Every structure is written in structure tokens, then in C-alpha cells.
Amino acid sequence: MARILLGLTGSVASIKAPELYGILSRQGHQVRAVATRRACHFFDPAALGSEPGAPPGAGTRDPDICTLDEDEWPAPSDGSKRWNRGDEVLHIRLRNWADLLLVAPLDANTLAKLALGMCDNCLTSIWRAWDRSKPCLIAPAMNTLMWEHPATARHLALLLQDTGHPIPPNIRREEIFHLLERGINGLRMASPEHRKLACGDEGMGAMASLETIKLLVEKLLPASQTA
């Protein structure tokens, strides 16, 4: 079985984090999550790995299950936790541990950061430092007009370029989506779906179903890690 690093970002779809974590774990995979600060607005990090049906706030977060930015960058007022030469670099340790990086949901803000190479939190630092010989799966989730905004296709095209795939200057957005859905050089996308969104709008932008994400994870992993 594989070691899966689950990136969680500030989309409403992060409410499904405990369920997705459970699905992947029941497949026999080792799963660790890395959540952005805004992702934690939609789920309780302590719920990952807890017993199904446990009431919210019933437990405490296990940093070996769900990593937050504060684990890599403790408050500067706590001098005992200041980094010293020889200490580990957490985002590098997580990068080395994982066989696959799954960012589900990938919100518009984090997509923009990844496309531009920004690394201002633990998750984006992992992406920037990722070993490109290992697969990545992204599952965008955002408001319909955000998904249809020209920046979305532009940023996805930049992610494709970063894999070494040439992008024609006049490529259509549908072609970009098709390439990512098919998978290019270890990068694949679980495309969003047309549904009524949490904000009340209806259209494209809802995160792919958890079943779809599970199946794509299995396809990206070597047979030896899925048997």
C-alpha cells in the first residue's frame, strides 16, 4: 500500500476531509494530511483518524496525522521551538515520506500560488519541493465563476508547463482540462462537477466525487501499491 499526503485548502469541499481520509485509509493506504489555515475553517483537524461518529471537538489533533503551518513555523514567542541547525525541515520530511501528493480540494487561491511557484505555507512548500518522479493528483473546487475565470485555465496551463509539457500559445481551455484529466508526466486532475454549490450558485466547480478521487488515486499508483 502507498503513503498518501492529502493537501487540504480553503474550499468548502474541505468539509469532506474526514470522509476522504477514511476512504483512503480503508483502502490500506497510510494517509497524512497537510491543511492550510483556511482549510481548518471547514473541518476539525482532530477529526482525522478519529472514530466515525465522534462528536466535534471530542479529541485533540494528532500532528502525525494532520500537519498545520504552526508545526513547521511555531510562534516566534516560543523560543524553545526556534529552528536550530540540524533540526529537520518538516515539508521536506513529508515530501520524502509520501508516494503520492493529493490536493483535494484545491481552491482558487492555492491553485494560483502553485502556478506562480509561491511557497508561503507548508502545503505550497511541499508542492514546490516535490520530487517530480512521484505522482500528483489535484481536485479543484471553487465557485462556478471562479472556475470559469480566465486565470483558472492560465494557472492550470502553468502547472502543465512545469511538468515539461509544451503548451501552444493559443491552446483552448478545454484542451488544457483534457490534458490534465488524461494525466501528463505524473500530474492528473479530477475535474470539478456541475452541481448546486454551497454558496447557492449552480454550475461547474464542485469537487469531484470521493469515489472518482479514490479511483484516480489507484490509477496513479503502481500496481504493487494498490494490491
Q: Is 40 a catalytic residue?
A: no
* Statement: residue 37 has pLDDT above 60: yes
Q: What is the pLDDT of residues 43-102, one digit of tens each?
A: 999 999 865 555 555 578 999 999 999 999 887 665 566 777 777 899 999 999 999 999
Query: What is this structure's pTM?
Result: 0.93
Domain interval for residue 216: 3-225
Summary count for the chain: helices (H), strands (E): 9, 8
Helix axes 108-116, 150-162, angle to 10 degrees: 40
Is residue 174 predicted with pLDDT exceeding 70? Answer: yes
- Active-site pick, 66, 119, 136, 199: 199
- Residue 78: what pLDDT? 59
- Hey, CA dihedral for 161, 111, 67, 49, is it positive or negative? negative
Q: How many residues does the chain have?
A: 227
CATH code of 127's domain: 3.40.50.1950
Query: Structural domain tally of the chain?
Result: 1
**H helix runs in 98-209, sequence order:** 108-116, 122-128, 144-148, 150-162, 173-182
Mean pLDDT of 131-153: 96
Q: Which residues pair with 184 in a beta bridge?
A: 187
The mean pLDDT value for 99-109 works out to 98
